[in-house]
Structure 1
Amino acid sequence: MRTIDVLVIIDCLSATASGNLKNNAYIVDTNGYEGSWNEGTSQLVTVCQDGQGLSWGITSVNPGNQVNIVSFSGQLITSKICIPQKQGIPGAETWKGKVQSRGGIGQYKYTLALSINGKSMSFDAFIKVV
């Protein structure tokens, strides 16, 4: 089973100016037309299967702005469906986890906590285990 890569793109200038990530986060994954929906919004629903790997990366739309994933929280973590761990070196970090729904199916919300130029912000996204 292939790993699904999720890319989080942040408009750092607009996010920090408005205090709003929901309208300034754009998420896409490598599922293409295989079932994920709300791509290009902060409300991406990544469709995956039990046992499948997930990998999150982040970048800024604005050159020179620093944005990092700080942590994951929410139902995805508390239900132990997937517990992403930071990997890589500073400046090239990814967060990787494996879906472990133990045969269960359903949609699980998660919160991404970010650091944008030193300011803490967060927003919610979803995975759907089928």
Structure 2
Amino acid sequence: MHAVNIVTIVDTIAALSSGSLRNHVYMADDGWCSERKGTAELATACYPGQPISWTVHAIDVQSPALISEIRILDLAPHGPAARFTPGPEAGGAPQWTYWSGLVPCCLPPGRYGYRLQFQLGRGERSVLSIDTPALNVLSWTGAQS
């Protein structure tokens, strides 16, 4: 099964200036039936056990954006909250701009919101997060390989 790739673009200067990621995050993926592409409310279509990866890019190259955590929210009925682990960029030391993992196999079909947390530069207000994206876990019935 191919991996689903999610790309996030962050306007780091605007986010740091406002103290919020609201209206400063743009997300897209290569899922065939994902919803709300180009927004922070991206709902990525995926299947249990499918590889998934996130990358982040800053609009301003002098103000970096790094992923510091990805956590699926509200999984109490299905087990503990799932966290994805960071992976190093190809050909270099870990920069935490690339994270990967598997969609938890225990998830029944449904929409699962997740927290995407970023480290934007340095300082006490440089860690910001959004809880608006989601994984839209589909049923294996009719799945394509």
Pairwise same-fold verdict (TM > 0.5): yes
Cα RMSD, aligned residues only: 2.0
Q: Cα offset for 1:19?
A: 1.6
Q: Percent identity?
A: 25
More strand by share: 1
Pick aligned residue for 1:90 from 84, 90, 94 = 94
Equivalent runs, 1:1-130 vs 2, <5 Å = 1-31=1-31, 34-75=32-73, 79=79, 82-88=82-88, 89-91=93-95, 93-102=97-106, 104-118=108-122, 119-124=126-131, 125-130=133-138
Q: TM-score, with normalisation over the residues of structure 1?
A: 0.88
Q: Is the 8 A contact 1:10 1:59 kept in 2?
A: yes
- Structure 1 runs (4+) greater than 4 angstroms displaced: 76-82
* Residue of structure 1 equivalent to 2:142: none
Q: Is the 8 A contact 2:50 2:102 kept in 1?
A: yes
Q: Is the 8 A contact 1:70 1:114 kept in 2?
A: yes
Q: Which runs of 5+ in 1 are unaligned?
A: none
Q: Which runs of 5+ in 2 are unaligned?
A: 139-145
Mark the CA change 1:115 to 1:16 in structure 2 (over 3 Å): closer, same or farther.
same
Deviates more, 1:95-104 or 1:9-18: 95-104
Equivalent-residue separation in structure 1 for 2:63 and 2:103 (angstroms): 31
Equivalent-residue separation in structure 2 for 1:59 and 1:77 (angstroms): 28
Q: Is the 8 A contact 2:70 2:115 kept in 1?
A: yes
CA deviations on 1:62-115 (whole Å, 9 max, x unpaired) are 121111011123427764575311111233641111112436111101111111
